[in-house]
Amino acid sequence: MLKVEDLKRKTNSELQDMAIQLKRELMNLRFQRVTGQIASTARFREARREIAQIKTLQRQNALSKALS
């Protein structure tokens, strides 16, 4: 699980890259689930939450730039 403090230190482009990587990982996890290769499904939840955290920080950054 990612720490919010670590995410806040990253730039928007780094956050975007992380989100893309997590989306790819989520897609691979879905394929593994369908083929029966995955034993634990807890990573689905973690990946979705990490993507949500990244999107939230990106939105907060955009709003703070718009207000300043």
Question: Can you give the pLDDT at residue 68?
Answer: 80
Residue 1 pLDDT greater than 80, yes or no: no
Torsion sign (Cα): 36, 31, 29, 44: negative
Q: Residue 55 sits in a domain of what CATH number?
A: 1.10.287.310
Provide the H-helix boundaries in the chain: 4-8, 12-35, 42-67
pLDDT in tens, 12-59: 999 999 999 999 999 999 999 999 998 888 999 999 999 999 999 999
Question: Can you give the pLDDT at residue 49?
Answer: 96
- Tokens 């939105």 belong to which residue? 59
d(CA 48, CA 68): 31
pTM of the model: 0.87
Q: How many domains does the chain have?
A: 1
Domain extent at residue 19: 4-67
Question: Can you give the pLDDT at residue 39?
Answer: 80
